[in-house]
Chains A and B, each alone.
Chain A
């Protein structure tokens, strides 16, 4: 797998049509690629470049600016521990240290079995419920070391499969291309672009 599969290609075309200029769809399409493969492959970036009409270097330039896009395989579950100020004040570093010991990797690493990637991240907007972390961008708040251990056990045992999809999947509801789609902005911008 690498290029977008047929289902995702259809979604990609819908997404492109939602913007006045195709290049605007680069980030949504990169998410689609990451959803498919768990990370963003070179082939997927080349495919996206084709779809939006830019060079692969251009897509890579955009993609590599954003932290969420991974250019090598990562764990099925990416655990992002916030260590920013509000979390630091209430023990984030202790939690991260505990997580490193429990998973046997340093922040930034992936466990040998490919199950977990651990990251030390910036503020995730859960400051009043610190210390907080995300697993594949789903929140866990006021996390104690015991909570963390339970989380890891539950993930491994598949008890959270419903709530937490594999890395790469964000919203599981997609915006629909409805009958009511007016696309007036698109037409107006096209008129401007054609000077």
Chain B
């Protein structure tokens, strides 16, 4: 021994098949082998789930004091001086034996199996298998695929019982709705009778299934792996920015698979992101420009349609031109439109739909997803991440579950994360500043915050209240934890990128609600809807309808017809995700690329190109004639996008936007008016299956749309005197809507929750809504 302190060793020296390798401390042998370029065959092990050592395929030999021992490399940690052999005759014999046993009861239906061609079991059998089976007995028989949910089918004959899907459901998704049942040779994966695997994340089980036991309805029998073309991209269904591989066959999208990037999605996707590509293939897509001609729409050429839009814009004073939307496109799309608006002097523009948070939230000290998940304390204000940003929910759940982080939640009703929260309180709408202040003042909570490393996830938890109440509550949190960093949970695809690129209001008159009000009052001559459907997306649908009716020229850049553009004067078909390239910005300001995989529908083209052509028709050369020019101009002119200049930086994990010096947040604390005790205060919030356009146009997802309902605390339901499922009248002022009622202890006493749903007849409740909305609820007689 010497008394000279050795620097702590940061690697573990092991020998793998005779070659020295420096492994990471605590790493499993199978992972160390992978790092060393040695592939150990395996089925049950998955790097993002806890090891179970069940399939036994990854057996290797490790030297121990008592001689070489066969161990499973997925459950054996590396140790200093360890000698690992993956290629000895004993190891080969053991691996071949396991493979023969795995195949014993596995059906020989590879030719009709969707997994054929990309099947780890098939690959392993070809490369290491004994060729011919010696198993002459009758194989296990089960009814061929049975649906275990609306999206997933299970073929139990193909299942090798690796525990990946069941582990995922339990460990990762927190939806243990599938389980091993029975025992031994009769073991099978199954749901509870009449209780399907209704998880928002069910598609992941299909992706990680190492055989063809689990298949998803959107892909079944659509293509063979060897016919697929694919490109890596980023999902833009919500703002998490999950990395994906987009796969197509004969110019039709057929599948999205998650890609594991450490900073974002760890390989997981939500079912909405995974399956809503179906809408891209919808026959209802707009394929050609159209013009309103004497009341009816007729197909038009691009030059005709662009010309019509240009004439309308040229004729109007820039102060009477407005642009709403842009969050569904790429950063480049938004930048080109912002450049056009700049050139024309249009100040009314907003990528938000009045259902988000003020842009000031982006000027606070920002947290990344990783920052949040490494924080000592995570404060969640507002939304239910499981419903709005599903994969962010998985990440935060993991952080709270693995006990690295303590979650403090202040939301208008219980969320998907409530079961994992250290402290969870439900606040009355409008009163969150008071509730959160009281919560943070509790000595234990105050001590927790005082320990530092606080991250705040903040979003809009209620569409039936003013966004300022959330900001007032955020002010309270930042006053209590001044060094906290903030992750703005803005849910719409690329809303952060569009705002950053310039589709942000320059003053109060430019926000979407103000635009709609001006339009309804006759103050807007040309309204450009950039992939926007304000009737569905803005909280006040009534206002949106009145606005659209008064605008003489509505120009809609969209992929579908919907209520907001049904009366438009110019329709310009746009290319959508999968049909165009560019970059997108996620919730944390991470820019990653989206890639074109198929040719756009008809003559549809990307938004940036439409902006550029419209500018030309208006006699302005934006200098944005190619995607590369748009990207270069954007990186040069928008400081936050400077890192995007190098296109390679946006691949894989992507790159964070440059952060300006944060602005201080004023101390909040204000709350709304008190509620009259006879009334219920309304909470309207998003859910995953909300009937949004892309899910409505995806045949597999459309049936999942949830029903309209009003949900009360059980004690309030009793007070109303209605039975579970009965119809109740929900009234505001003179307006009444009738909805079925349900009890849920997750709704606070005195609150009434209604899911935000398109076309469910809820609009009257939010008409003219400002501060908060108090409703009467009466049982139907």
Residues of A within 8 A of B (CB): 42, 45-46, 54-61, 64-67, 195
Which of B179, B193, B194, B403 is within 8 Å of A58, CB to CB? B179
- Asked if B176 is at the interface (CB within 8 A of a chain A CB), the reply is yes
Which B residues between 248 and 281 are near A, CB-CB below 8 angstroms?
A: none
Residues in B with CB closer than 8 Å to A55 are: 175-177, 192, 195
Other than the known A57-B192, A60-B179, A64-B183, what 6 A-B pairs have Cβ atoms closer than 8 Å?
A: A55-B176, A55-B177, A56-B192, A57-B177, A57-B179, A65-B183
The main secondary structure of chain A at its interface with chain B is helix
A58, A66, A67 — most chain B CB neighbours (10 Å): A58
A55 vs B195: C-alpha distance when bound (angstroms): 10
B183 touches A57 (CB 8 A): no
Residues in B with CB closer than 8 Å to A54 are: 176
Query: What 0/1 pattern do residues 170 to 201 of B give for CB contact below 8 A with A?
Result: 00000111111111000000111111000000
For A55, give the chain B residue with the smallest CB separation.
B176
A57 touches B178 (CB 8 A): yes
Given A65-B182, A65-B183, A57-B176 contact (CB < 8 Å): yes
A48 vs B175: C-alpha distance when bound (angstroms): 18
Q: How far is the CB of B213 from chain A (nearest CB, A)?
A: 17
For B170, give the chain A residue with the smallest CB separation.
A58
Given A54-B176, A55-B176, A195-B403, A61-B181 contact (CB < 8 Å): yes
What are 5 contact pairs spanning A and B, CB under 8 A? Answer: A55-B176, A56-B192, A57-B195, A59-B192, A60-B179
B193 touches A64 (CB 8 A): no
For B169, give the chain A residue with the smallest CB separation.
A57
Q: How far is the CB of A46 from chain B (nearest CB, A)?
A: 8
A136 vs B195: C-alpha distance when bound (angstroms): 32
A195 vs B181: C-alpha distance when bound (angstroms): 32
Q: How far is the CB of B419 from chain A (nearest CB, A)?
A: 9
Q: How far is the CB of A188 from chain B (nearest CB, A)?
A: 18
Residues in B with CB closer than 8 Å to A56 are: 192, 195
A46, A55, A59 — most chain B CB neighbours (10 Å): A55
Given A54-B176, A57-B176, A64-B182 contact (CB < 8 Å): yes
Q: How far is the CB of B191 from chain A (nearest CB, A)?
A: 6
B403 touches A60 (CB 8 A): no
A25 vs B195: C-alpha distance when bound (angstroms): 22
B183 touches A60 (CB 8 A): no
Query: What 0/1 pattern do residues 390 to 405 of B give for CB contact below 8 A with A?
Result: 0000000000000100
Residues in A with CB closer than 8 Å to B191 are: 57
Q: How far is the CB of A108 from chain B (nearest CB, A)?
A: 13
A60 touches B190 (CB 8 A): yes
Residues in B with CB closer than 8 Å to A67 are: 183
A64 vs B403: C-alpha distance when bound (angstroms): 32
For A49, give the chain B residue with the smallest CB separation.
B192
Given A55-B192, A56-B192, A56-B195, A61-B177 contact (CB < 8 Å): no
B183 touches A42 (CB 8 A): no
A24 vs B312: C-alpha distance when bound (angstroms): 72
Residues in A with CB closer than 8 Å to B178 are: 57
A61 touches B403 (CB 8 A): no
Residues in B with CB closer than 8 Å to A57 are: 176-179, 190-192, 195
For A56, give the chain B residue with the smallest CB separation.
B192
A60 touches B192 (CB 8 A): yes
For A60, give the chain B residue with the smallest CB separation.
B192
Q: How far is the CB of A54 from chain B (nearest CB, A)?
A: 7
B179 touches A42 (CB 8 A): no
Which of A45, A61, A66, A195 is within 8 Å of B180, CB to CB? A61
For A66, give the chain B residue with the smallest CB separation.
B183
A57 vs B193: C-alpha distance when bound (angstroms): 8
B193 touches A42 (CB 8 A): yes
Q: How far is the CB of A53 from chain B (nearest CB, A)?
A: 9
For A46, give the chain B residue with the smallest CB separation.
B192
Q: How far is the CB of B399 from chain A (nearest CB, A)?
A: 14
A61 vs B182: C-alpha distance when bound (angstroms): 7
Residues in A with CB closer than 8 Å to B175 are: 55
Q: How far is the CB of B376 from chain A (nearest CB, A)?
A: 13
A60 vs B181: C-alpha distance when bound (angstroms): 7
Residues in B with CB closer than 8 Å to A60 are: 179, 181, 190, 192-193
A42, A57, A58 — most chain B CB neighbours (10 Å): A57
Residues in A with CB closer than 8 Å to B181 are: 60-61, 64-65
A187 vs B190: C-alpha distance when bound (angstroms): 35
Residues in A with CB closer than 8 Å to B190 are: 57, 60-61
For B197, give the chain A residue with the smallest CB separation.
A57
Residues in A with CB closer than 8 Å to B403 are: 195
A182 vs B191: C-alpha distance when bound (angstroms): 39
A60 vs B192: C-alpha distance when bound (angstroms): 7
Q: How far is the CB of A44 from chain B (nearest CB, A)?
A: 12
Residues in A with CB closer than 8 Å to B182 are: 64-65
Q: How far is the CB of A72 from chain B (nearest CB, A)?
A: 12
Q: How far is the CB of B416 from chain A (nearest CB, A)?
A: 15
Residues in A with CB closer than 8 Å to B179 are: 57-58, 60-61
A54 vs B195: C-alpha distance when bound (angstroms): 14
Residues in A with CB closer than 8 Å to B180 are: 61, 65
A110 vs B193: C-alpha distance when bound (angstroms): 23
A29 vs B178: C-alpha distance when bound (angstroms): 21
Q: How far is the CB of A69 from chain B (nearest CB, A)?
A: 11
Q: How far is the CB of B608 from chain A (nearest CB, A)?
A: 47
A60, A66, A195 — most chain B CB neighbours (10 Å): A60
A170 vs B574: C-alpha distance when bound (angstroms): 70
B192 touches A45 (CB 8 A): yes
Query: What 0/1 pattern do residues 187 to 229 of B give for CB contact below 8 A with A?
Result: 0001111110000000000000000000000000000000000
For B187, give the chain A residue with the smallest CB separation.
A65
Query: What 0/1 pattern do residues 108 to 135 of B give for CB contact below 8 A with A?
Result: 0000000000000000000000000000
A195 vs B180: C-alpha distance when bound (angstroms): 29
Residues in B with CB closer than 8 Å to A45 are: 192
Query: What 0/1 pattern do residues 220 to 247 of B give for CB contact below 8 A with A?
Result: 0000000000000000000000000000
Residues in A with CB closer than 8 Å to B193 are: 42, 60
Residues in B with CB closer than 8 Å to A66 are: 183
Which of A42, A58, A64, A195 is within 8 Å of B176, CB to CB? A58
A31 vs B403: C-alpha distance when bound (angstroms): 34
A46 vs B177: C-alpha distance when bound (angstroms): 12
Q: How far is the CB of B243 from chain A (nearest CB, A)?
A: 30
Q: How far is the CB of A4 from chain B (nearest CB, A)?
A: 17
A61 vs B183: C-alpha distance when bound (angstroms): 9
A42, A59, A65, A66 — most chain B CB neighbours (10 Å): A65
Q: How far is the CB of A11 from chain B (nearest CB, A)?
A: 24
For B403, give the chain A residue with the smallest CB separation.
A195
Q: How far is the CB of A55 from chain B (nearest CB, A)?
A: 5
A42, A46, A61 — most chain B CB neighbours (10 Å): A61
Q: How far is the CB of B521 from chain A (nearest CB, A)?
A: 53
A60 vs B175: C-alpha distance when bound (angstroms): 15
Residues in B with CB closer than 8 Å to A195 are: 403
Residues in B with CB closer than 8 Å to A64 are: 181-183
Residues in A with CB closer than 8 Å to B177 are: 55, 57
Q: How far is the CB of B182 from chain A (nearest CB, A)?
A: 5
A117 vs B549: C-alpha distance when bound (angstroms): 74
B191, B192, B195, B403 — most chain A CB neighbours (10 Å): B192
Residues in B with CB closer than 8 Å to A42 are: 192-194
Q: How far is the CB of B235 from chain A (nearest CB, A)?
A: 28
A45 vs B181: C-alpha distance when bound (angstroms): 14
For B180, give the chain A residue with the smallest CB separation.
A61
Residues in B with CB closer than 8 Å to A61 are: 179-181, 190
Q: How far is the CB of B192 from chain A (nearest CB, A)?
A: 4
Q: How far is the CB of A66 from chain B (nearest CB, A)?
A: 8
Query: What 0/1 pattern do residues 367 to 397 of B give for CB contact below 8 A with A?
Result: 0000000000000000000000000000000
Q: How far is the CB of B310 from chain A (nearest CB, A)?
A: 59
For A54, give the chain B residue with the smallest CB separation.
B176
For B195, give the chain A residue with the smallest CB separation.
A56
Q: Which 9 A-B pairs have the closest CB atoms?
A: A61-B179, A56-B192, A57-B192, A64-B181, A57-B179, A64-B182, A57-B177, A65-B183, A55-B176
Q: How far is the CB of B134 from chain A (nearest CB, A)?
A: 28
